[in-house]
Structure 1
Amino acid sequence: MNAIADRYRIRADAFEGKVAAVRPGQWGNGSPCDEWTARDVVGHIVDMHGAMLRPFGRDLSSASSVEEDPLGALRAARADVEAILTDPVLAATEQETPMGKVTAEQHIDQVVSADMVIHGWDLARATGQDDTIDPGEVARMWPEAQSIPEVMRTPGAFGPGIVVFGPEVKVPEDAPLQDRLLGLMGRDPQFH
């Protein structure tokens, strides 16, 4: 395997573990993402997996819906994306994205793979799980988070209803790096 596929697998395993740990009565809990429940967070991740397939003219495989079975829907979406990452030709296929031309594996790495890290925190916070983000992930994401272009914070800039990052949440400069990262990503690290 390559580094991108390995990183995806590690991130997907962590996110899937959080989904598996949600108790039935917690799916309607509010999350740090405005207007999203815990179920909506998983729905977004499943939808983003589908977005990674569209350049190939593919859709998500038939599976349970996020409404019926969030874990099953995530596992099916994950298998669809892993099929691209493990196919050297598909993984290297270049495609146009809102941020320029990149390979499919780079697009997956930059979008849905990274998304699972931050949305894993959202899901954990919404459902009372351990919300510690791997310090290596925090360190990896920190440099780019410090220079998020304003267009990435503009609702609808990448299509109707799409919000990439919310407005920055001010966090003390001496706060832990995870909290400062979350603030740059539009999250209130104190959300309960």
Structure 2
Amino acid sequence: MTNTISDLLRAAAERSVPVVRGITDDRLGDATPCAEYDVRQLVDHLFQVVVNFQLLAAKKDADFSAGPDRAGHGDWREEFAAEAEALVEAWAAPGADQGATGAMNMSASLVGRMALGDLAVHAWDLARATGQEYTPDPVVVREVLTAFGELAPTARAMGVFGEEYRLPDGGAGASDLDRLLALTGRDPGWRRP
């Protein structure tokens, strides 16, 4: 597999979309590892991510202030699958990962990896919250771990990441996924209540 943003997003979507499809309506009110979101709110946030990062790939401004209300309405699982595919296609467009993007005025390559991280990490959140199995692509995890390592101080200052979770033994022997989750403030051992 090459490491273009669209290839990485496709690998992430192939493992994330089944998690979203596996969420039953009776789980929408359940807690997630993201304390500020229940399952419904996290699915809606993930919709917001996949839609807005399509705009950023096209070098357009995105509005993250308006949260969608998609989870639990209509065929939301298949709508998510379609939006995830549109995200992959948006980042496959020539030049999508070049230059700066949107009002964020950040490197498009880094912005694409932010979308990748949201897709992979929030799929883990949703899988844990709803009792599903989920193993992200190892190449995706390594890419996100590198990108989020750069972004972590700013993300913490903005309240996007929690304080880094302290792994046992200083992380010795921890997997890349556990290190990524800890970096974003998550306890890799989190289980639904």
User: Structure 1 residues 149, 86: CA separation in 2 closer, same or farther (over 3 Å shift)?
Assistant: closer
Q: What is the deviation of 1:57? A: 6.0
Give distance in 1, aligned partners of 2:140 and 2:155. Answer: 20
Q: Is the 8 A contact 1:46 1:73 kept in 2?
A: no
Q: Structure 1 residue 122 and structure 2 residue 129: aligned?
A: no
Distance 1:35 1:95, change over 3 A: closer
Please list the CA deviations of residues 122-162 of structure 1 after superposition, one character each: whole Å capped at 9, or x if unmatched: 011001111433333333333444454422112xx3xxxxx
Identity of aligned residues (%): 27
Residue type of the partner of 1:77? E
Name 1:34's counterpart in structure 2. 35
Task: Give the Cα separation in 2 of the matches to 1:190 and 1:168.
Answer: 14
Q: Quote the RMSD (CA, aligned, Å).
A: 3.0
Cα-to-partner distance string for 1:52-87 (whole Å, 9 max, x where unaligned): 21643689xxx9923314313312422442442243
User: Secondary structure of 1:65's match?
Assistant: coil
The residue aligned with 2:48 is 47
Q: Could you tell me which residue of structure 1 aligns to residue 15 of structure 2?
A: 14
CA deviations 1:96-131 (Å, max 9, x no partner) are 454x4323xx25521212211111110110011114
Indicate the residue corresponding to 2:71 in structure 1: 66
The answer to whether the 8 Å contact 1:26/1:127 transfers is yes
- The 8 Å contact of residues 149 and 183 in structure 2, kept in 1 or not, is answered as yes
With normalisation by structure 2, the TM-score equals 0.76
1-structure distance, mates of 2:3, 2:167: 36
Q: Which has the higher contact order (CA 8 A, sep 6+)?
A: 2
* Counterpart Cα distance in 2 of 1:145 and 1:43: 22
1:56 has 2:60 as partner: yes
Select 2:162's aligned residue among 166, 177, 191.
166
Deviation at 1:46, TM superposition (A): 0.9
The alignment covers a number of residue pairs equal to: 179
Residue 27 of structure 2 corresponds to residue 23 of structure 1: no
Task: Show the 5 A alignment for 1:80-91.
Answer: 80-88=86-94
Q: Can you list the C-alpha shifts for 1:145-184, whole angstroms capped at 9, x where unaligned?
A: 4454422112xx3xxxxx4211111111235223232111
**1:188 Cα deviation after fit:** 1.1
The residue correspondences of 1:140-179 to structure 2 (distance < 5 A) are 140-146=143-149, 148-154=151-157, 157=158, 163-172=159-168, 173-177=171-175, 178-179=177-178
Stretch moving more, 123-132 or 174-183: 174-183
Aligned to 2:185: 186
DSSP-derived class of the 2:124 partner? helix
